[in-house]
Structures are given as structure tokens and as C-alpha cells.
Amino acid sequence: MASKAAQKRLSKEFVVMQREPPPFVWASPDEKNILTWNFLIRGPPDSPYDGGEYHGVLLFPAEYPFKPPGIKMFTPSGRFHPDRKICFSMSDFHPGSWNPAWSVATILTGLLSFMLSDEMTTGSVTSTDAHKRAFAARSHAFNLTQQRFRDAFPEYCTSTLHNPPNMGEKERGKSDVKTSPIHIPPSFRPSTASSTLRAATLESRDAASASHSEAITRTSGAAQVPVGWMTTWRHFITEKWRLCAFIALAVMVSRFSSRA
């Protein structure tokens, strides 16, 4: 069972994978177990794997991202033993060299790079480029016969080969890329209840913000009332004082004139 850290991290990585898939690879978590990810690698052009479709699996430990995953490839490629763990720097064969900052995209990009090299390791095989091209030509037909491929990637189970969302066109300066549909496991789709709760939360925040603004307006208005009242009162007192001074002066002039 995935830890909270693994659940949070892998959920985030699935979102990133959909938004910015790396060239020639695609992956998605199993609908029932987020620690198991099925991946597809498409053979890059100008390589012996051109036209190939390679299905495999990433087996994440519950302690991910602090421990690396196990990696298998099911489709025969002439590079790796089918259904056998592959040893390279980002797999569970090398926990000492694992970096928790590495992600699903990083791992699969590294695996593709390792696949294109000739380095031998546990899980790898030796074959000629001709054999690799022959495996590539038969790869899609082979995948269609595999139940685990059909379960993991039903949208790719067609007579013609589908491209993953990024076949490297963006990296080569092409923007008008047609991508295959993305399959989102139901367990990772936002539920209606979650959407409703999120909307209610936002509505509540907006209401609270409006109330706060109204309160500030009322407070400002209340502060302005005394200021206006005091100004009026000062004006009233000043006018009255001037009037009284004028009357007092008139009385004094009148008395002075009568005595004279």
C-alpha cells in the first residue's frame, strides 16, 4: 500500500505526465494500484527501434520517492529480456545512487537512453540491429496478443499504431502535432462530490471576501460620519461667534454714542 508521500507524489507526477509528456514515452498508473505504472516507449527515428512499440511496467515501492522502482519490459526488443527486471542507475538495483528528485518522466527518459546504448547489464541481451528492427516491426502485433497490454492501454489496441502524446515533434520545432487520446483512470478523475465541495469552498471564500470588503466600507463610512459632523459643528460655532462679536461691537458703539 502506498504511503501518503508516495500517493501525493505519484498523483502529481501523473498530472505532469499528461501536461508535459517526454519524447517517445508515455505512462499511467494502474487503476487499482498507484504504485504500478504501465509505460510505452516508441522507438525513435534513426534507431534500430524505429516503428517499435514497447510495453513495460514501473513497480514503485511504498517508500517512493525515497526508494527507486523496479523496471520491466514485456515486449521483445532485442535489448532486454522480456518480463525480467532491468538493472540500470535509476532502478531498484542501485538504491545507493537513487535521487528522490527523479520522477516517472526522468526514469523513462533514462530508460530510453539506456535502451539506445550498447551497455550490458542484468536484464539485457545482445542482438544485431537487424534483429532489433525485426522485433520492432512485430512489436505492435505482439502487444495486441497480451492481455495486460489490452487492459493497460485499450486506446492503443487498434490495427494501426498510435503515437504517444509526444513523439518528439516539439523538440524538433513542430507544433501541429496530433496526439492519441489520453486515458485517465477513474480513480484519478475528480469526483462530482469533490468538484461540488471545491465550488462550495470557493463560493464561501468569495462570500467571506465580499463580507470583509463590505465591513471595511462600513467602517470607513462610520469613520467619515464623525469627521463631517465635526466640520459642520466647527463651522456653526465660528459663524455664531462672528455674529455675537458683531452684536457686542454694535452694543458698545451704541452706548458710547448715547453717552456722548
What residues act catalytically? 87
Decide: 92 and 67 in contact? Cβ < 8 Å.
Answer: yes
Decide: 180 and 156 in contact? Cβ < 8 Å.
Answer: yes
For 233, the grid coordinates are 459643528
- 58 by Cβ neighbours in 10 Å (0-12 / 13-18 / 19+) ranks as buried
Give the Cα separation of 113 and 24 in Å (integer).
Answer: 11
The residues, any chain, with a CB within 8 Å of residue 5's CB and separated by 6 or more, are 64, 65, 66
For 235, the grid coordinates are 463651522
Give CB contacts under 8 A, 24+ apart, made by 177-183. 180/155, 180/156, 181/155, 182/18, 183/28, 183/153, 183/154, 183/155
Q: Are strands 36-42 and 25-29 parallel, antiparallel or unpaired?
A: antiparallel
